[in-house]
Amino acid sequence: MKKKVGLIIACCLILCQAHAQNLRLPAFFSDHMVLQRQSMVNIWGWAKAGQQVKLIPSWSKDTLSVVVSGDATWRTQLETPKAGGPHSIKLVTPQQELELKDIMIGEVWLCSGQSNMQWSGANKLQEILDILPGSSNPNIRLLQVSNIAAQTPQHNIFDSWQTSRPETVRDFSAIGYFFAEKLSRELDVPVGIINASWGGTAAEFWTPKEKILANEQLTHYAALQKLAPRKPHQPGVLWNGMLAPLAGYTIAGSLWYQGEDNTVSYAGYDQLIQTMVGAWREAWGYQFPFYFVQIAPFVYTQYKKPNAALLREQQARTARKLPRSGMVVTTDLVDDLKNIHPTRKKAVASRLADLALAEVYARPLVDYKSPTLQDYTIEGDKIILSFAGLDGKLLVRGKEIIDLYIAGEDRKFYPAKHTVKGSRLLVFADQVKAPTAVRFGFTNSATPNLFNSKGLPVSPFRTDDWPDFE
């Protein structure tokens, strides 16, 4: 009996060793994938140490060769052509041959965040359910990353690329799908969209742990995240399990919708996001664009102060300071202030796509992003505000701007009146003869009515830094 057990163990070891020496690729190098067009894209995998791996892309007459390193890994780059397809790649070793089929060349984007990015037809989102019958599209490819947390960086995921069709679109990020659909239509190229998002998660979980622990403030804020059922609660674990395996897969840029779970620690959010994005860009090896969504109005009954407004202020700061970034404002896209998951995802995706079209693909769009406060001056009884990202005029829907307040040295805020002069806003009130500060939409659930010429809302702001919220 012992001999039989020993024989079985020996056979298993031989089989495991043979499998370890097989030519293998991460799961996301698969049939139906999209590779970034006209780029040197990375491709990597595993094989027997010392072997030669040959790569033969169908779009090229050249054969690439790479020697497997002593730790059984290999890595090289492929030069991709103009957008199109389908293509294939053959991978050959002395013992094996693999072929990746139905590969498209186009634009690749990564989307991540918490539930508002994750929200899909599985959540009965009507916008997705309505388009499912016509969602089959060979030019749109989807990579859905499974929700897996890990204590150390992983080298693989369990998911492969899928074509766009009703059964794959239904459970995919609505924002990710609508973004890909608009980009593909506007650019007339294939688009691959990767969704790595998980509801109810804080940004610390998506940031490498060592980056958090290296900063005393970030470590303090991370400790405010409490254990909750069915979701992780430790720094770095979603980076490890869902993003680190993908690092190096060539992308055009990234999309981010998150922040609701960081309202408890709003004061450190700008620093946290800049740290997170810096770590992502370091891992990928280049400064790809990072476009994100400002959190939507919601009542947040658990807070006595405007934590959400204070977090939006941090997000606006990130948009100003972080290179190659941009922010979508959503104060006009909420129909139910008691629903933390606004249902108008297609409009959010469209605004994200416009950021990409204008700033990555050089489309001549005007007023394609929400204005943010740039500067202000005080002249007599008025405060005059100017805005960044504003090409045309300011527009007010209604007679007066709602959620607009002004205060003097006594720091008492009164509802304000206004005058619009082109791209400038003049703010005043009968009760305030010597104004010192203006606040606009600075509550958790404000839905103000000030817009640019294209109907995009002005981002909420305050001109003061008074500690009345601390």
Residue 275 has what pLDDT? Answer: 98
Structure tokens of 2?
């012992």
Q: Dihedral (C-alpha) 232, 233, 238, 241: value to the nearest 10 degrees?
A: -60
Residues 267 and 332 in one domain: yes
Residues 45 and 114 in one domain: no
Cβ atoms of 298 and 444 within 8 Å: the answer is yes
Inter-CA distances, 111 with 60, 145, 243, 291, 295, Å: 30, 10, 11, 9, 16
Last residue of some domain: 103, 126, 143?
103
Structure tokens of 1?
């009996």
What's the start-to-end Cα distance of the chain, in Å?
72
Residues 53 and 193 in one domain: no
Place of tokens 């090229």: 60
Task: Determine the Cα–Cα distance for residues 255 and 339; give it in Å rounded to an integer.
Answer: 22
For residue 242, the 8-state DSSP code is I
Residues 83 and 111 in one domain: no
pTM: 0.94
Residue 3 has what pLDDT? Answer: 55
400 located within any domain: yes
Residue whose C-alpha is closest to residue 456's, from 330, 296, 300: 330
468 located within any domain: no
Residues 326 and 270 in one domain: yes
Bridge-based pairing of strands 34-36 and 97-113 is parallel
Place of tokens 């007339």: 188
Domain of residue 305, CATH code: 3.40.50.1110
Residues 92 and 112 in one domain: no
385 located within any domain: yes
Last residue of some domain: 359, 388, 417?
359
Place of tokens 């009542």: 299
364 located within any domain: no
Task: Determine the Cα–Cα distance for residues 316 and 418; give it in Å rounded to an integer.
Answer: 23
Residues 422 and 390 in one domain: yes
Task: Determine the Cα–Cα distance for residues 370 and 169; give it in Å rounded to an integer.
Answer: 29
5 located within any domain: no
278 located within any domain: yes
Structure tokens of 70?
């002593």
Inter-CA distances, 406 with 108, 160, 314, 417, 428, Å: 45, 54, 21, 9, 7
Task: Determine the Cα–Cα distance for residues 73 and 67; give it in Å rounded to an integer.
Answer: 9
Task: Determine the Cα–Cα distance for residues 281 and 294; give it in Å rounded to an integer.
Answer: 21
Residues 341 and 379 in one domain: no
Residues 151 and 247 in one domain: yes
Place of tokens 């399990």: 241
Structure tokens of 142?
């989807």
Domain of residue 24, CATH code: 2.60.40
Q: What pLDDT tens digit does each residue of the chain (470 aa) get?
A: 555 545 444 433 333 344 456 999 999 999 999 999 999 999 999 999 999 999 999 999 999 999 999 999 999 999 999 999 999 999 999 999 999 999 999 999 999 999 999 999 999 999 999 999 999 999 999 999 999 999 999 999 999 999 999 999 999 999 999 999 999 999 999 999 999 999 999 999 999 999 999 999 999 999 999 888 888 989 999 999 999 999 999 999 999 999 999 999 999 999 999 999 999 999 999 999 999 999 999 999 999 999 999 999 999 999 999 999 999 999 999 999 999 999 999 999 999 999 999 999 999 999 999 999 999 999 999 999 999 999 999 999 999 999 999 999 999 999 999 999 999 999 999 999 999 999 999 999 999 999 999 999 999 999 999 987 65
Task: Determine the Cα–Cα distance for residues 283 and 206; give it in Å rounded to an integer.
Answer: 13
Inter-CA distances, 346 with 53, 73, 139, 174, 264, Å: 44, 41, 19, 7, 28
134 located within any domain: yes
The amino acid that residue 428 corresponds to is F
Helices (H) and strands (E) in the chain, counts: 11, 23
The amino acid that residue 135 corresponds to is S
Task: Determine the Cα–Cα distance for residues 400 and 250; give it in Å rounded to an integer.
Answer: 48
Residues 128 and 230 in one domain: yes
The count of domains in the chain is 3
Task: Determine the Cα–Cα distance for residues 31 and 159; give it in Å rounded to an integer.
Answer: 11
Structure tokens of 111?
């989307």
Task: Determine the Cα–Cα distance for residues 353 and 179; give it in Å rounded to an integer.
Answer: 6
Q: Per 3-state DSSP, what percentage of the chain is helix, strand, and coil (rounded to 5)?
A: 30, 30, 45
Residues 341 and 381 in one domain: no
Residues 268 and 127 in one domain: yes
214 located within any domain: yes
Inter-CA distances, 37 with 106, 117, 129, 250, Å: 5, 26, 31, 10
Residue 272, classed as helix, strand or coil, is: helix
Last residue of some domain: 329, 359, 389?
359
Structure tokens of 173?
């990020």
Domain range for 128: 105-359
User: CB 341: neighbour CB atoms within 10 A?
Assistant: 16
